[in-house]
Amino acid sequence: MPPLFRALRPHQWVKNLFVGAPLLFSKNLFDATLAGRAAAAVALFCLVSSSVYLLNDVLDLDADRAHPKKRGRAIASGALSVADARLAAALFIVGALSAGAALGAPFVATLGGYLVLNLAYSLALKHMPFIDVLCIAGGFLLRVRGGAFAIDVPASSFLLLCTGLLAAFLGYGKRAHELRAAGARAGEQRRVLGRYRERPLWIALWALGVATVAAYAAYTRASHTLAYFGTGVLVYTAPLVALGVARFLWLVARRPDAESPTAEMLRDRWFVATLALWIVAVSVVIYAR
């Protein structure tokens, strides 16, 4: 795999599927025009997020070289020069914001806000415990907002709530995993880890897991949901969400050798099977009627 492409972290592009969530839940999945706009929005978020990864790896060069796994990244290993990484990031950012104009000013503003938030995260906020993960969660909320602006539909408050809780849950899970895996060298590998403590981190993780499942269950029974989809059977997909949350907690606690639990969950057959079943079940409920 070419060093530049590897540095873009294409395996992380799956996160940008959240941009397509408004398309799915607005019952417009089979509208070719709106699906095309949503796909373009996903692609532009991929460009910008990869640009942020490039810049972040430049800033984290020394810390990555001290990390047992991250030292193999393209920039940390020397396979991709710092100058080439900066140039590629600049070109991708300019290209994405320019192309985003076709999806409207609100979308461009959201994409720009996502960029600014992530630059602030890379420069300073990633060193502040708990604030760092809230920034990550904010990025997911902007993804959903951007997807809604791209197809000109409102993003429901429940969709935003569930997205924010889930993103924070995954983020704190990653921090808990990193803290346990790094041990005494935690602060060297990621400065903010030296300011985390395992007990409050796990308390936050469990609380967010419960809150995520509860918020999703409440969404399935909300009057707006029942009226919009014309059925109450969506609630039967809530156990799949609970199962996915429980499996992620298991991966955080039991797979310390993995680079990250968020990457590991996409290789875990049980988690992937649960996610696939949830997607199929939700799609059937929304579109079979």
Sign of CA dihedral 270, 21, 201, 183: positive
CB 149 within 8 A of CB 106: yes
Query: Mean pLDDT per segment of 10 residues, for the chain of length 289 residues?
Result: 84 92 94 97 96 88 73 80 90 96 97 96 88 94 97 93 95 86 62 80 94 96 91 94 95 78 86 95 89
Residue 94 CB coordination number (10 Å): 11
φ/ψ of 188, rounded to 5, equals -75, -40
pTM higher than 0.75, yes or no? yes
Q: Please, what's the b/e burial string for 156-178 (b: 16 or more CB within 10 A of its CB; e: otherwise)?
A: bebbbbbbbbbbbbbbbbbbbbb
pLDDT of residue 78: 76
Q: CA 2, CA 98: separation in Å to the nearest integer?
A: 26
Look at residue 81 in the predicted model and tell me its pLDDT.
85
